Chain A
């Protein structure tokens, strides 16, 4: 008991000393630092502004200069040239050369990531410029180069076998210590040639439980806390020391269905499952934001892709039951539908990193039970969903899909809805019309044509429902009032720490 008291007293005594030093900005997020490899957990380092990508994006999704100061496209659309920023240096002091950038891009293309979906023929290093040659015109290339997997690290960051041994980037902050999977500490980098950021030191803590993050925000032990659970959000809004920012972002909570499964192959079956979902109830009770109930796949914030005239997804359990009866399902004695001796039982995979998902899964379980579909919920690791996609064992997956994986949603669309589907997108479903529309959209720059194609894509998805939208997503941040200049990046590319300062 005495020892505990002494420790407490020592801890309290140490506080003034800590304040006298440079104050560290403490960031908390749910995502663990699972690896130093750019293609795995690279977003940790781009968000903390340690590593840079060639381009960034503004809040509207337009590509902005980052490591590349400007870029040009040839008339035939096949040759892109990115001019590197003057005076950019890596944290080990060496200059950022085109060769280093090309090496990083080659690695990104070979690893799982977005570059594999871009029709790139070759990279070339010219003096101070990186040249990318394409096999066909691809308008979204600049947006693709904002993805974290394309981050550029110094040649000295890699060991003899080509694995990352330290994250040596070119951003305004450099790594002080990294203790996977939970902690990262960064400090102002002297090699940053722009104006030095006001915040000198920052730390990142990965805390998986939503209540823990909320507790850290509430008690003032963290300055920036991301991804709060809806229940804590209300409480935090009433806290006088915290500013809560909640922004709808281009992410949608979706149900990934295995359309190759005989029970789900017919579009009517998928439509029935969709009609049984009470999206309003889920948005109101679980997300505490009734306006987030999805009427179509794309939220209104993705203004270009959201189609105002589209018939909204509705809650109609009787219609669902009628559709399933049409397909030959009959209710068994226990209330579960049976067809040819097989019961309509599905297993749903989801993960707890986003606090709403397991609760929504429980709600879906009850709503589908009412129309006779027995759903078993399996809460595991997020990687179980892509694993299940690859080996064909996935039946239903619940996730929150990021449509601005690259600032242009076409990136996600290509990943998810190309023939063969994607880890987080369609499974066992393909559509010729979709493939044509996506290909055309990647190539054309005509505004009217693009609008028409986007409308076509949205309509196909609404009719065939290879994935079921459930609700749109709100990105949340609890920021201490001691910070000024806090903004929330709707594309989740950066925490924007370099633009913040302490409010005195």
Chain B
């Protein structure tokens, strides 16, 4: 039940991210200094911000950026993480030890710190955020895969398959993947949620992206001084952030 709700929420947000920038024709960066902080109107369905920019357009582009970047980061963390985890579990010995040490090195720093430092390298650009998030996240997939695969590879079923002559591809498809997929999916969903929040947090404290980029955290920090005159303006990005993260967490399941 909660899974379904999560799917609906996430689907709505994803739809907004994909179709929004196309359907909403307004330019998210176009300013109109004579029309600041207008409430929702036929011309601007969600109102305008403090520089007269259309909020609906900015939200749509911001959703695309935040969600897209988060998903991309998780993917670019998961793929190497899973592959390396499989490699570590399959090889054992020195390779396993080396990879585990690398994982420990990355895990030593809390994720946001790592992302902060990497983001400091090229402030305002998107790629350091992506790099920092991927670097912070890959370890989780590595550890999960390594632990699960190590146990599975030593199990009687896999041994039996091997004795029967089946190759690694079969073992991967038939034995490993079905057991890995569910926890990996849950991890990925949480990962995207965390990444979205981290991007917002960095935007809020002023290290993430810069004007005129539209991003939830950045929008919230820009609109905060105007919460009294235009509370809806601050509410939209907050609500979107909340719904996205909630949807992802519900989707991932009740289990922590």
Q: Hey, which bits of chain A sit against chain B, CB under 8 A?
A: 210-211, 214, 229, 231-232, 234-235, 278, 281-282, 284-286, 352, 355, 358-359, 361-363, 365-367, 369, 376-380
Contact = CB atoms under 8 A, between A and B. Distances in A.
Contact of B225 (A282, A355, A366): A355
Contact of A378 (B36, B123, B226): B123
10 contacts: A232-B228, A234-B229, A281-B33, A281-B34, A285-B33, A286-B50, A363-B31, A366-B51, A376-B210, A378-B210
A346 to B, nearest CB: 14
A428 to B, nearest CB: 25
B224 interface: yes
Given A231-B50, A285-B52, A362-B211, A378 B30 contact: no
A236 to B, nearest CB: 10
A285 B51 contact: yes
Interface in B104-146: 123-124
Given A359-B50, A366-B30, A366-B31, A352 B206 contact: yes
Contacts of B206: 352, 379
A75 to B, nearest CB: 56
B212 interface: yes
Contacts of B33: 278, 281-282, 284-286, 363
B228 A235 contact: yes
B225 A358 contact: no
Contacts of A378: 123-124, 210
A210 B224 CA distance: 10
Interface in B166-215: 206, 210-212
B225 A210 contact: yes
A362 B124 contact: no
A-B pairs with lowest CB-CB distance, top 3: A281-B33, A362-B211, A285-B33
A232 B225 CA distance: 7
Contacts of A235: 228-229
Contacts of B124: 376-378
A378 B124 CA distance: 8
B211 A365 contact: yes
Contacts of A367: 31
A283 B186 CA distance: 51
Nearest to A362: B211
A231 B225 contact: yes
B240 interface: no
A397 to B, nearest CB: 16
Nearest to A361: B211
Determine which residue in A229, A281, A284 has the highest number of CB atoms from chain B within 10 A of its CB, and name it: A281
Contact of B229 (A231, A281, A355, A379): A231
B152 interface: no
Contacts of A363: 31, 33, 51
Determine which residue in B51, B123, B222 has the highest number of CB atoms from chain A within 10 A of its CB, and name it: B51
Contacts of A366: 29-31, 51, 212
B32 to A, nearest CB: 9
Interface string B20-31: 000000000111
B134 to A, nearest CB: 25
A interface secondary structure, majority: helix
Contacts of A380: 123
A115 B124 CA distance: 38
Contacts of B210: 376-379
A282 B222 CA distance: 16
Contact of A365 (B36, B212, B224): B212
Contacts of A231: 50, 225-226, 228-229
A118 B28 CA distance: 50
A365 B211 CA distance: 8
Contact of B224 (A211, A234, A284, A359): A211
Given A232-B225, A235-B228, A358 B34 contact: no
A378 to B, nearest CB: 7
Contacts of A369: 29
A95 B134 CA distance: 64
Given A359-B50, A361-B211, A363-B31, A211 B225 contact: yes
Contacts of B30: 366
Contacts of B34: 281, 284-285
Contacts of B51: 285-286, 359, 362-363, 366
A235 B229 CA distance: 8
Contacts of B36: 285
Nearest to A360: B51
Interface in B198-256: 206, 210-212, 222, 224-226, 228-229
Given A235-B229, A278-B33, 20 more contacts: A210-B225, A211-B224, A231-B50, A231-B225, A232-B228, A235-B228, A282-B33, A285-B33, A285-B50, A286-B33, A286-B50, A361-B211, A362-B51, A363-B33, A365-B211, A365-B212, A366-B51, A369-B29, A378-B123, A378-B210
Contacts of A284: 33-34
Nearest to A347: B124
Contacts of A278: 33
Nearest to A229: B225
B79 to A, nearest CB: 32
Nearest to A228: B225
B211 to A, nearest CB: 4
Contacts of B228: 231-232, 235
B24 to A, nearest CB: 18
